[in-house]
A and B are shown apart, each in its own frame.
Chain A
Amino acid sequence: MTGPVTVAIPVLNGERYLDEVLEAVVAQRVDRELELLVVDSGSSDRSLEIAREHGAVVHQIGGREFSHGGTRNRMMSMARGDHVAFLTQDATPSHAGWLAALLEGFEQADDVAAVFGPHDPRPDASHMIKAEMERHFASWGNGGLELDIQRLDRSPAGIAAYREFPGQLTFLSDVNCAVARWAWQQVPYREVPYAEDQLLGRELIEAGFAKVFHPRARVLHSHDYPPSRFFRRYFDEFRSLREVLGYRQAWGPLRTAADVRGLVAADRRWLSSHGVRGRAAAWPLAVSARHHSLRTAGAILGSHANRLAPALRGALSLEGRPDFNPYEVPDTLLEAGDSFHPGWQWNFVRKGYPRRPPAVDPGSARPRGPLTVAWVVPTWGVGSGGHTTIFRLVRQLEQRGHSCVIHVFDPEGTEPRPGGRLREEIREHFVDIDAPVLRGLDSFAGADVAIATEWRTAFPVRDLPGCREKIYLVQDDEPQFYATSAQSIWAEESYRMGFRCVAYTPWMADILRERWGLEARYFECGTDTNTYSYAGPQGREPGLVAVYGRAETERRAVDLALAGLTMLFERRPGLRVILFGSNFAIAAPLPARDLGVLAPSELAMLYRRASVGVVFSLTTHSLVAQEMMASGLPVVELDGANVTSALGQSGELVELADRTPEAVAAAVERVLDDPAAASEMARRARAFAEKRTWERAGDQLEEALFDFLARPRQPALNL
């Protein structure tokens, strides 16, 4: 059942219009309970009485407790509705469908955080006010006539356009708007004295949420003052804009004259469209000129109020306020913030807050058919197992008729080579792909699916525009890669972003589901059984141990393997150890040959020669182990749920060792001492690996993509 909707109105001596406003609110036709909430900050007129007459829940606060942002946060907390519509005490809903229109705005997409509507001037408003409001609200929805959903396009061109005309996206007026509770919980009003709605609008948009203009959510609202009061009001308004948003009205003799002339010309067009032309328009235009001159003067002085003496500020202010208190505004995309620290490798994390859901284009379920898939990958080194898996999956999708592109995300700037060279390297050292390789995301051109492949890539992928779905390919429990650190926190953050996940193993999928509440499917990595062809026990060199020695990857526990093998070497001096997989020379405590990074064909030869393969994984089990298994090489792995969930108990497919040097030595020795049992285990392991082909992994991934695209996203996020 739909919960209530709240209409919240802050009030102070609002007797003049309050009765009319509340009557119009109570008359609203909505399909749910309507809660009317009034917070009064010390009215001395009949406001309280009027509010109670209309059945409002009235809450009284002291005048000093009031601030536009703080009080609205308080009202959001008190309100029972999932959506809270804000009005001011002088904004009257134009018709009984006003609230329903605001609610309809939220139905346009799951990520709509706020809805606002136009203000119609009251009949007694001056022609300047009428013309200005008409012009202003015609900026949205094709001249103010249609529903208009606004989102920030985070492409470089989109950000540039946003910086040029921010108001188009950021405008929000809580004279007449509604805010979704879920969005407010993430982006509350700032506790600022003024301009709280403009700041909220900006923060919601920059957080990646949508905002909707609904032309039917109209209210009657306008102010008309004598010229001197208008001037002083504009002074106050623009001082607040400067204090809170840092706004400065540009000025200069020619520029200001041109500005005023432009505004008067706009009024002349408006008057003409309403039949006031020629001599009849002379006096109204003179009034326009006076109004806009005073308005512009108020705006210039107000937005430069920091340069004025307090006594002068007090005299110019309608509120009599002499101070100037700049507010520390949060970082914003409107500033060229990047220019301060352009090379800082964690800028992408800094921009990743506040939390927001993945930006996904709304749309119906996608039929099965060829997809466009954008993979965002971190930089790599030759021999990287994670990238081998990614590129093999890219190839698998290509072979199924999907089109792929690979974007290399390199926040550290460590990769100098152009995309063409990178593609050559992938083809030479990993797999022969068709996908073009692009550096960075500046050329991102949308895709059916964007896939993040590592925790860092999750940050930019979340905000990429023009995608129907965002997927997180999780190969490992990456927060475990780091000691307690900012990186471990940020890696965990990638699990809070609301991605749909495809995990490398059932074990990883369980972690994502159970610990992080994410929707996760899995694939099981394949093995190239042609390259890693089976060799039986004949021809293997007794006592030859092949050790995956990728010491730069700490989760491979290479030192533990070396400690165990050293212990074994002391009692079996005939043991011969070959290390491979590292780009750096390994300082081994026992005689060992270090072959470094080997090509797959060289690895296959090694696996056919050796009698034992030692490969450890403290998190997800390793592709290297599976390739050894495919080659008929008996494998020693470390015991743990990450391994047993995929490979069973010790002796079934691999020999397992507890995490001590003695246990490692004992496990290797068991394999060496009982070649018959080891060979039998290796045969079972080969049969296992034969079933885990890359074609099967490709099928599993493709099925996951189709499944996710066929079902609309659930808005609930693990935030």
Chain B
Amino acid sequence: MTEEEPTAEERAVQAEAALQAALQERNKLWAELQERHSTDQDLAFWRGRAEDIERSRWWRAGAPLRLAKRVLADPAAALSDSAGALRERRRTR
């Protein structure tokens, strides 16, 4: 026994539903893309701000104090970090 063929009207309803689902999926992907763009923009903005801060005289002037604070908290880790940072600076120079 064969299954009854859907009528033209039923097929139209099915197609309409499939179209709506496709549009919803497309919208979802589009919205995700916009969120991604927004996040990327924000990331670039905050990264720029952080770089500005790190380049500032006040930040550099405070470097010994920050190092001292780290040494007091965890001497081994602080010295290891400092050595790593020095190596990295030499490498990139």
Residues in A lying within 8 Å of B, measured CB to CB: 367, 369-372, 401-403, 405, 418-420, 423, 434-439, 443, 445, 447
Contacts and interface: CB of A to CB of B under 8 A. Distances in A.
A370 B38 contact: no
Given A403-B31, A418-B46, A436-B35, A443 B24 contact: no
B69 interface: no
A420 B40 CA distance: 10
A435 B27 CA distance: 12
A468 B67 CA distance: 58
A465 to B, nearest CB: 15
B19 interface: yes
Interface string B1-32: 00000000000000000011001101110110
6 contacts: A402-B27, A418-B42, A419-B38, A436-B38, A445-B33, A445-B37
Nearest first, the 9 A-B pairs at minimum CB distance are A436-B38, A418-B45, A443-B37, A405-B34, A369-B23, A403-B27, A403-B31, A420-B42, A418-B42
Given A369-B19, A371-B27, A436-B34, 15 more contacts: A369-B20, A370-B27, A372-B26, A372-B27, A401-B24, A401-B27, A403-B27, A403-B28, A405-B31, A405-B34, A419-B38, A437-B38, A438-B38, A443-B41, A445-B34
Interface in B17-76: 19-20, 23-24, 26-28, 30-31, 33-35, 37-42, 45-46
A619 B37 CA distance: 37
Interface residues of B, number: 20
Nearest to B48: A418
A484 B30 CA distance: 42
Indicate the member of A401, A420, A423, A447 with the most B CB atoms within 10 Å: A420
A370 B24 contact: yes
A206 B40 CA distance: 30
B24 A438 contact: no
Indicate the member of B39, B45, B46 with the most A CB atoms within 10 Å: B45
Contacts of B28: 403
B87 to A, nearest CB: 34
Nearest to B16: A367
Contacts of B41: 418-419, 438-439, 443
A152 to B, nearest CB: 22
Nearest to B33: A445
Indicate the member of A367, A401, A402, A419 with the most B CB atoms within 10 Å: A419
A375 to B, nearest CB: 11
A434 B19 CA distance: 24
A255 B91 CA distance: 37
A482 B33 CA distance: 38
Nearest to A439: B41
A267 B40 CA distance: 48
Nearest to B40: A443
A420 B42 CA distance: 6
Contacts of B34: 403, 405, 435-436, 438, 445
A420 B38 contact: yes
A403 B26 CA distance: 10
Contacts of B46: 418
A369 B26 CA distance: 11
Given A372-B27, A401-B24, A403-B27, A438 B19 contact: no
Contacts of A369: 19-20, 23-24
Indicate the member of B28, B34, B42 with the most A CB atoms within 10 Å: B34
B30 A445 contact: yes
Contacts of A401: 24, 27
B38 A372 contact: no
Contact of A436 (B19, B20, B24, B37): B37
Contacts of A420: 38-39, 42
